[in-house]
Amino acid sequence: MYRLIPTEDETGDEDRTETGSIRNQHGFVPESDSPSKGPFRSIFHKVRSLFSPGHRPRAFNCSWRSRSTATTPGAPGNRSTAPKRKHVFMLDRVFLKRFWRILQAMFRKPSKAPWLYIGLTLFCCVNEAVVYYVGTIPSRYYKVLGDKDMTAFFRLLIVSLLTVFLAGFGKTVIYYLGSLLALEGRKSLTLHFHQIYIRPKFFYRILMMHDEELDNPYFLLSSIASRMLINPIVDVVFYKESAEGYFRYLHVRFRQFAESITFSRGEDEARRSADESLDVLLLTQLDVIYKELPLKFLQQSVSYFGSILSYVIISVPIFMGKYDDLPSSDVSSVISKISFVSMYLTYQFSKIIQCGTDFSDVAGYTSRLGQLMEALDEMNAELENIAIDFPHEESMTMDASIRFENVSFDTPAGDLIISNFTYRFEAGVNTMIVGPNGAGKTSILRAMGGLWPVAKGEIILPRRDVIFLPQTPYLTYGTLREQLVYPLKKTASGVSDADVVRVLKMARLEHIADTIEDFDMAYTLDWSKMLSPGEQQKMAFARLFYARPVFGVLDEATSSMDAESESEMFKQCRLLNITCITVCHHSSLEKYHQQKLALDGRGGWSSFEIQHSSDCHSDDIPISTTGVGVVSSEEMEVDTLTGNVEDANQGYRD
């Protein structure tokens, strides 16, 4: 039996529940928040609220930076009072800055995009000259036919056929170069994002971060037409892209949780949310269509107007008698030429207007990409500013240990996890971390792994000798050999077949070695679908046994295994000298550990040596007490496994 003093803030846990930003998240604001003018308006309103700064899909809800927003009106945790702020994305200095960054990313070395762009521009210029020449051909026909000049006619015929082919060839090359440029641009931009986004520490952080309001205070003097016609489109294109992203994300989640949804008969709910998000998406698309209508109208009108204008222009000199001296064939030729030139000019003018529509799309995408880039920048700066962010890495010394020195840190929502925590995980001493749900057991591991920053103190660990095993391991697509060496795919070829079989046997997965004949066959099937949850956890242990680190940090890593397999995993760890730091809920795991670290869920903690006599469970004696949770026989009893104050020791007696 052991006792803990609860910290002064008895309500801490409840507060966390109420203000924790992940608790109250829905894709949409409550109906009461929506305008009451029918479902159409209501859904439209949802479009805005869905992508308002306060909204985030569930997995994206946390940020240390936005801690204050978690408790302010309009923050995710207070959805019902969220003000409906409207984001407006405009053509302004921020847009230009973002656009410039995107261009830099697209055109950076070793991309072929710059050369393609230069080639495309040159070709377009040459082709424009050819097209112009083709356009003037009919006027020459008027002339040669009017003069009944057969030689000139056949000469013109050959020349015009050649130029027409040349123009067709030019258009095809332009299409080809344009497509290559699009592919190359996409490749360099995506590689750029991969490079800055999928990398240590960053990946997790960015997925956990908040949407930030990246409004800008700057405005450039853009034209009135742009303000009136293009800017509204930029705005809606942004929302359309967001809606598209959310819609796809939802479907990815359905795929991921298909089994759970089916077990809980959640198909109707899934369909409802899919339908709803489709409504939102379609409405944003409709919005884009409506907003583009004025531009389309202008564009179409200009092109029709051009054809009439040409005759208006030519009528002036004709009625003024300027061509009275010319033969009628020459007059027809002049009329044809002038009409072509004016139609050509109006066509080019309408293309400029078309560019406005296209550009508004580009501006919408730019807003979205720009926001992502800025968020990544901020995250980067944040990481660099956190002095004690990533635990110090040390190479292995004789004194192998993981040390927390006076460490305090909070959740991203600002709730205290642990305060002044000084602790040493010794190599050779298996330690279990226990405490009620939400006490911060996994958070300690997050801090250890550098996923969460610590506000104070220092964590020192021999990082290369620590491997983390989460409750749900990540299984990659690929061969069995690659699965075992994950994440060091390149080293897979160095693993012999005998080694593969050996570690699989240790992890009680020998049947997989029997089933799979070729360890290098890349299975297109998802491994996580081929293996049961317990087998997936065993695969993670197989990786651990292969890597043989000094510390294996196990976050409920055996929760899906049968008791015998679980025991086998700890036995193998002992044989391989892997020290286990285990987050768990079951007292049955005590027999594999020598030390216990108990969190009380209020920032307090305490540590105990586990006595391994047959009836000793209720007699655990605290061997060290530091920090907030000071042990005292006079204080409240807390069962650190269940977190249940009344039920203290019940689990042990059982």
What's the closest the beta carbon of residue 23 comes to ligand ATP, in angstroms?
8
What's the closest the beta carbon of residue 254 comes to ligand ATP, in angstroms?
22
Window 158-197: contact mask with ligand ATP (x via CB under 6 A): ----------------------------------------
What's the closest the beta carbon of residue 9 comes to ligand ATP, in angstroms?
14
Nearest to 371 by CA among 29, 45, 53: 53
Which of 20, 135, 170, 604 touches ligand ATP by CB under 6 A? 20
Contacts with 283 (C-beta within 8 Å, 6 or more apart), sequence order: 43, 44, 47
232/412 with CB nearer ligand ATP: 412
Contacts with 599 (C-beta within 8 Å, 6 or more apart), sequence order: 418, 433, 434, 435, 436, 439, 440, 441, 444, 605, 629, 640
350/640 with CB nearer ligand ATP: 640
What's the closest the beta carbon of residue 411 comes to ligand ATP, in angstroms?
4
What's the closest the beta carbon of residue 583 comes to ligand ATP, in angstroms?
6
What's the closest the beta carbon of residue 437 comes to ligand ATP, in angstroms?
4
**Counting contacts by CB under 6 A, is residue 651 touching ligand ATP?**
no
CA diameter of the chain: 124
C-alpha–C-alpha distance, residues 145 and 22, integer Å: 79
231 exposure class (CB count in 10 Å sphere: 0-12, 13-18, 19+): buried
Which residue shows structure tokens 């829905």?
26
346/411 with CB nearer ligand ATP: 411
Which CA distances in Å does 497 have to 36, 237, 494, 502?
67, 53, 10, 9
Nearest to 507 by CA among 469, 476, 478, 466: 469
Angle at 533 between CA 531 and CA 534, to 5 degrees: 95
Angle at 428 between CA 425 and CA 432, to 5 degrees: 50
Window 517-556: contact mask with ligand ATP (x via CB under 6 A): ----------------------------------------
56/481 with CB nearer ligand ATP: 56
What is the footprint of ligand ATP within residues 385-414 (CB under 6 A)? 411-413
Find the helix packing angle between 150-197 and 328-385, rounded to 10°.
10
52/61 with CB nearer ligand ATP: 61
What's the closest the beta carbon of residue 224 comes to ligand ATP, in angstroms?
46
C-alpha–C-alpha distance, residues 466 and 394, integer Å: 11
Which of 2, 16, 137, 592 touches ligand ATP by CB under 6 A? 16
What is the footprint of ligand ATP within residues 422-441 (CB under 6 A)? 435, 437-441
Helix (H, G, I), strand (E, B) or coil at 628: coil
Interface size with ligand ATP, residues (CB under 6 A): 16
364/435 with CB nearer ligand ATP: 435
Which CA distances in Å does 441 have to 92, 428, 622, 638?
47, 21, 19, 16
Helix (H, G, I), strand (E, B) or coil at 458: strand
Nearest to 568 by CA among 534, 610, 594: 534
Which of 2, 5, 6, 22 touches ligand ATP by CB under 6 A? 22
CA 428, distance to chain mean position in Å, is 39
Window 450-489: contact mask with ligand ATP (x via CB under 6 A): ----------------------------------------
189/584 with CB nearer ligand ATP: 584
479/595 with CB nearer ligand ATP: 595
b/e map of 429-442 (b: 16 or more CB within 10 Å)? ebbbbbbbebbbbb
417/512 with CB nearer ligand ATP: 417
Which residue shows structure tokens 């027999």?
591
What's the closest the beta carbon of residue 439 comes to ligand ATP, in angstroms?
4
Nearest to 371 by CA among 247, 211, 200: 211
337/602 with CB nearer ligand ATP: 602
What's the closest the beta carbon of residue 436 comes to ligand ATP, in angstroms?
7
Which of 443, 479, 558, 595 touches ligand ATP by CB under 6 A? 443
What's the closest the beta carbon of residue 206 comes to ligand ATP, in angstroms?
13
Which of 442, 479, 528, 607 touches ligand ATP by CB under 6 A? 442
Window 290-319: contact mask with ligand ATP (x via CB under 6 A): ------------------------------
Helix (H, G, I), strand (E, B) or coil at 578: coil
What's the closest the beta carbon of residue 66 comes to ligand ATP, in angstroms?
10
In the sheet with 456-461, reading across from the earlier edge strand, the strands are 392-393, 456-461, 401-410, 416-426
484/589 with CB nearer ligand ATP: 589
357/411 with CB nearer ligand ATP: 411
C-alpha–C-alpha distance, residues 636 and 599, integer Å: 14
406/471 with CB nearer ligand ATP: 471
413/467 with CB nearer ligand ATP: 413
Count CA atoms closer than 13 A to 54's CA, side-chain side: 29
What's the closest the beta carbon of residue 413 comes to ligand ATP, in angstroms?
4
304/474 with CB nearer ligand ATP: 474
The amino acid sitting at 645 is: V
Angle at 531 between CA 200 and CA 574, to 5 degrees: 70
**N residues, the chain:** 654
What's the closest the beta carbon of residue 369 comes to ligand ATP, in angstroms?
25
Which CA distances in Å does 339 have to 227, 308, 311, 323, 353?
33, 9, 6, 16, 21
Window 57-76: contact mask with ligand ATP (x via CB under 6 A): -----x--------------
Q: CA gyration radius for the chain?
A: 34
By the criterion CB under 6 A, which residues form the site for ligand ATP? 16, 20, 22, 62, 208, 411-413, 435, 437-443
